[in-house]
């Protein structure tokens, strides 16, 4: 049965049409008569179109989405609704090549480092940083004793030898077990060999290294790393980076607190609900009024400079990534990415023992969108699903 739409609904469809030029809805996208060009879609347009579509959906079809739609149900949503009353689930809003504004140079200072023995064997050092741009505790996970923070080792006014020990600014990889009896405190004499004066500490000159260190710049993902979500590959990427660095015996993971590509956990969870309606990861962000990717890498660049350079040469690194935005931003911040080391999803290749990690439809869809819409440098064996 044909449905006659009111004028306001037709106007809404024009907005949707301007956002999704591949999905005809009856008339061309609005033309800006004042400036004589086709109106470019923005996150605001995307929100308006979304609101209009929801309006149309509720007006012309009493439809309640299932509580927890599975991937197959997501596809079903678009077939059970009359074509003219739904927003296209694929809004081909082109995300900008890089939505990020490069901020002026950031100052960082390492507050503390501590040795972390790992369950997998071996150990690494965790460095906690403060910076001049935000109030978050960004971190570096460091493998290898030849990589040290200059700002950590720098003496602080008025600090005692114990202060230096407590913030991890001691020489070497580990402190000796000095306190066997809890009532007996370590004497300054016994710890002084670990407090080499700053001038005598080894120089952090990258040129002295045999090869540029392997580096990953990782953005926080509570869902992928802590609750093992299969919506994204973040958890396995962090594990993989740690495995590779452990095997090489050195490397740096800069762990940035930019959850949800910079929009925060709460907003990312909202985006997941939109993704359950069928919107992809880029459009879900845009519909919430965010950029596709709001991350900046100035703090990461400053942390890397602190760890691998004495300031005389642009620090050279090998970067574990598929994301060209990271490479471009780091180079704008004065780092040299000598080599990109790709991150191949575990389920795309068998492990050395020939075992295949099971595929997750939602993760593959996420990866496919990163390739198609976020310029990620991966050869995709993924089919649209
Ligand atoms: N907004 C949003 N953020 C997501 C989503 N899935 C993962 N993230 C966040 O994306 C960030 C990781 O980004 P990715 O695009 O997976 O990877 P990348 O760091 O850009 O690129 P690689 O270096 O190749 O791994 C983390 O901050 C995650 O919390 C999602 O669906 N929506």
Q: Tell me what pLDDT residue 81 has.
A: 36
Q: What is the pLDDT of residue 211?
A: 75
Average pLDDT, the chain: 73
3-state secondary structure at position 58: helix
pLDDT digits (tens, 9 = 90+) for 48-83: 555 544 433 333 333 333 333 333 333 333 333 334
| pLDDT of the residue at 186 | 56
If one compares 10 and 199, the residue with the highest pLDDT of the two is 199
81-90, 136-145, 303-312, 367-376: segment of lowest average pLDDT = 81-90
Which ligand 1 atom lies nearest to the CA of residue 218? 19
Q: Which of 45, 153, 233, 293 is catalytic?
A: 293
CA distance 383 to 385: 6
> Residue 260 Cα, ligand 1 centroid: separation in angstroms?
6
The pLDDT of residue 198 = 52
Nearest-CA residue for ligand 1 atom 13 is 261
Which of 278, 264, 255 has the alpha carbon at shortest distance from 223?
A: 264
Choosing from 98, 139, 221 the residue with most ligand 1 atoms within 8 A of its CB, the one to mutate for a pocket test is: 221
Q: Poorest-confidence range of 90-99, 155-164, 320-329?
A: 90-99
Distance, in Å, from the CA atom of 303 to the CA atom of 129, rounded to the nearest integer, reads 8
> Could you write out the three-class secondary structure of 162-226?
HHHHHCCCCCCCCCCCCCCCCCCCCCHHHHHHHCCCHHHCCCCCHHHCCCCCEEEEEECCHHHHC
Closest atom of ligand 1 to 290 CA is 1
Among 76-80, 194-198, 227-231, 323-327, whose mean pLDDT is lowest?
76-80
Q: CA–CA separation, 19 vs 89, rounded Å?
A: 11
Question: From the CA of 60, how far away is ligand 1's center (Å)?
Answer: 36
CA 281–ligand 1 middle distance (angstroms): 9
Q: Do 361 and 385 meet the contact criterion of CB atoms below 8 Å apart?
A: yes
Pocket of ligand 1 (CB under 6 A): 219-221, 232, 234, 237, 258-261, 263, 268, 271, 281, 285, 321-323, 326, 343, 370, 376
> Quick check: 265 pLDDT over 70?
yes
pLDDT of residue 226: 96
Query: Looking at ligand 1, which atom is closest to the CA of residue 343?
Result: 24
Does residue 375 or residue 137 have the better pLDDT? Answer: 137
pTM exceeding 0.90: no
**More reliable by pLDDT, 109 or 3:** 109
Task: Give the residue, by CA position, lying nearest to ligand 1 atom 31.
Answer: 281
What is the enclosing helix (H) or strand (E) of 252? Answer: strand 251-256
Q: Is 379 exposed, middle or buried (0-12, 13-18, 19+ CB in 10 A)?
A: exposed
With cut-offs at 50, 70 and 90, classify the pLDDT of residue 369.
Answer: confident
Least confident residue range of 110-114, 288-292, 307-311 = 307-311
Nearest CA to ligand 1 atom 30: 281
Over residues 333-348, mean pLDDT: 88
pLDDT digits (tens, 9 = 90+) for 89-146: 555 555 555 545 556 689 999 999 999 998 878 899 999 999 999 999 999 999 998 8
Instruction: Inform me whether the pLDDT recorded for 283 exceeds 50.
Output: yes
- Among 20-29, 40-49, 256-265, the least confident range: 20-29
Structure confidence at residue 200 (pLDDT): 53
Question: Does the annotation count 293 as an active-site position?
Answer: yes
> Complex ipTM, two decimals?
0.97
Catalytic residue among 113, 148, 261, 295: 295
Q: How far apart are alpha carbons 268 and 361 in whole angstroms?
A: 19
Say yes or no to pLDDT of 207 above 70.
Answer: no
Residue 295 annotated in active site: yes
User: CA 16 to CA 49: how far, in whole Å?
Assistant: 5
Asked if 43 and 286 count as a contact pair (C-beta separation under 8 A), the reply is: yes
Q: What is the whole-number distance in angstroms between the Cα of residue 365 and the centre of ligand 1?
A: 13
Task: Report residue 221's pLDDT band, with 50, 70 and 90 as the boundaries.
Answer: very high
| Highest mean predicted confidence (pLDDT) among 28-32, 166-170, 269-273 | 269-273
Q: Which domains does the chain have, with CATH numbers?
A: 7-85 (no CATH), 108-172+190-373 (3.40.50.10990)
């Amino acid at each position: 049965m044909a449905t006659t739409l009111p004028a306001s609904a037709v106007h809404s469809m024009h907005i949707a049409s301007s956002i999704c030029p591949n999905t005809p809805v009856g008339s061309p996208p609005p033309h800006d008569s004042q400036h004589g060009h086709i109106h470019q879609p923005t996150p605001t347009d995307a929100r308006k179109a979304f609101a209009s579509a929801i309006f149309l959906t509720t007006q012309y079809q009493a439809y309640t989405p299932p509580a927890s739609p599975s991937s197959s149900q997501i596809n079903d949503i678009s077939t059970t609704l009359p074509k003219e009353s739904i927003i296209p689930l694929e809004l081909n809003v082109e995300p900008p090549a890089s939505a990020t504004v490069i901020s002026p140079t950031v100052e960082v200072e390492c507050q503390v480092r501590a040795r972390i023995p790992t369950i997998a064997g071996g150990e690494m050092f965790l460095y906690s940083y403060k910076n001049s741009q935000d109030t978050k505790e960004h971190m570096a996970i460091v493998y290898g004793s030849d990589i040290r923070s200059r700002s950590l080792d720098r003496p602080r006014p008025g600090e005692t030898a114990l202060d230096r020990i407590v913030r991890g600014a001691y020489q070497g990889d580990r402190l000796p077990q000095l306190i066997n009896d809890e009532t007996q405190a370590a004497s300054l004499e016994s710890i002084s060999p670990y407090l080499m004066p700053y001038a005598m500490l080894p120089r952090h000159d990258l040129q002295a290294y045999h090869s540029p260190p392997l580096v990953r710049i990782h953005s926080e993902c509570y869902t992928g790393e802590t609750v093992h979500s299969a919506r994204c590959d973040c958890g396995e990427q962090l594990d993989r980076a740690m495995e590779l660095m452990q095997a090489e015996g050195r490397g740096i993971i800069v762990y940035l607190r930019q959850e949800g590509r910079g929009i925060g956990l709460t907003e990312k969870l909202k985006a997941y609900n939109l993704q359950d309606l069928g919107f992809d990861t880029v459009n879900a962000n845009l519909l919430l009024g965010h950029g596709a990717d709001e991350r900046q890498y100035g703090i990461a660049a400053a942390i890397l400079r602190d760890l691998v350079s004495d300031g005389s040469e642009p620090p050279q690194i090998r970067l574990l990534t598929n994301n060209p935005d990271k490479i471009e931003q780091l180079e704008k911040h004065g780092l040299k990415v000598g080599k990109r080391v790709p991150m191949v999803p575990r389920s795309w290749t068998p492990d050395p023992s020939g075992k295949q990690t099971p595929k997750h439809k939602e993760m593959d869809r996420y990866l496919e969108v990163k390739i198609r819409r976020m310029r990620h440098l991966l050869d995709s064996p993924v089919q649209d699903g």
